[in-house]
Structure 1
Amino acid sequence: MIQNLKEIYEGQARQERYETSKALFQCKMSEGSPVGAHVIKMMGYIQTLEKLSFPLKDELATDVILQSLADSFNQFFLNFNMNEINKTLPQLLSMLRTAEINLKKVGPKHVLMVHKGKKKGKSAAKSKGDGKTKTDGKEALKPKGIKKDGKCFHCGKTGHWKRNCPTHLQEVKKAKTSEVSTSEASKENASE
């Protein structure tokens, strides 16, 4: 008689353990909901599993709770793991409540929304379908916003800056080629 009762109630306990563990592992905190109520609910599932002779170790219980938190607690999770903090579940609940208060003080992070739409002006006519604008090399070198009476510091002519000055660029190019040729000559002399 006792054996039959054990078999009947063990089957029910197994089903209850299955449902409780399923609820525990699928539990996920929604963004903006209070962390206290969420963690208390999960602690209730963990205690129910203990009563059904299926206790979870503290580290596993902590990991399950941390995995179920909303994305806004990612920084807390990172700090918790980096500092290798070992706390009991009530202590973890207290830390999470404090973190939630600090998150509310800081406020939400602003996100820049990028909208792909129609472009205006000359760049719209030259743009490709992939969102990149088409420019040739000469156009990219032209400075924008130069006054007509502004002069180049190198040649003294108007309409460009020193970094775009044709004579300055030729001189820089000649200097580079002479440096390369002298370094090659010195390498040849060193090898002989």
Structure 2
Amino acid sequence: MDDMVDVGCLMLTTMTPELQKQHKDMVAYEMIQNLKEIYEGQALQEMYETSKALFQYKMSEGSPVGAHVIKMMGYIQALEKLGFPLNIELAFDVVLQSLPDSFNQFVLNFNMNEINKTLPQRKEKERKKSKGIGKTKPKGKNALKPKGGISKEGKCFHCDKPGHWKRNYFVYLEDVKKAKAVGASVSGTAHEKESS
């Protein structure tokens, strides 16, 4: 009971004079319930207005991207403060969709390169790369292939002939495999000699 009275007094001292008059005869729990009824409707209305502004906000062509993104992040943070947070993927999508058509290539690259991973995932990936772990390059059939054909001026850096890229040229890929196999067997033989 003593704690309840203390909390009630503390709540009353932080209120405006009008709210103090309304709540002076209530205990802390009743004050909380009454304040929820008063302000919950306002929070829903503010959430509606903020989300409407966020989803309808579009960047005009030629305006600075930095200022646009900062304003979008302000809306997203305001929603979070109101108790309606967006998950990271949706927040990225909303910002990307607000960009003009001249950013279509950027959006495509962003999505293709998995730039929209969460911050902890990016940090983990960077940590692995700095240690030399996690370097995964697609090989063979999974190698990147050019889209829309190869320009006629382009030549393979391995055989100096047009029509394919070095990274997709089967002869080059076989040479790389053989070199790795020879390197592994040489280092394995040296290791065997050391241990014996």
Shorter-chain-normalised TM-score: which range? Answer: 0.3 to 0.5
TM-score (norm: length of structure 1): 0.44
Higher relative contact order (CA 8 A, sep 6+): 1
TM-score (norm: length of structure 2): 0.43
Larger radius of gyration: 1
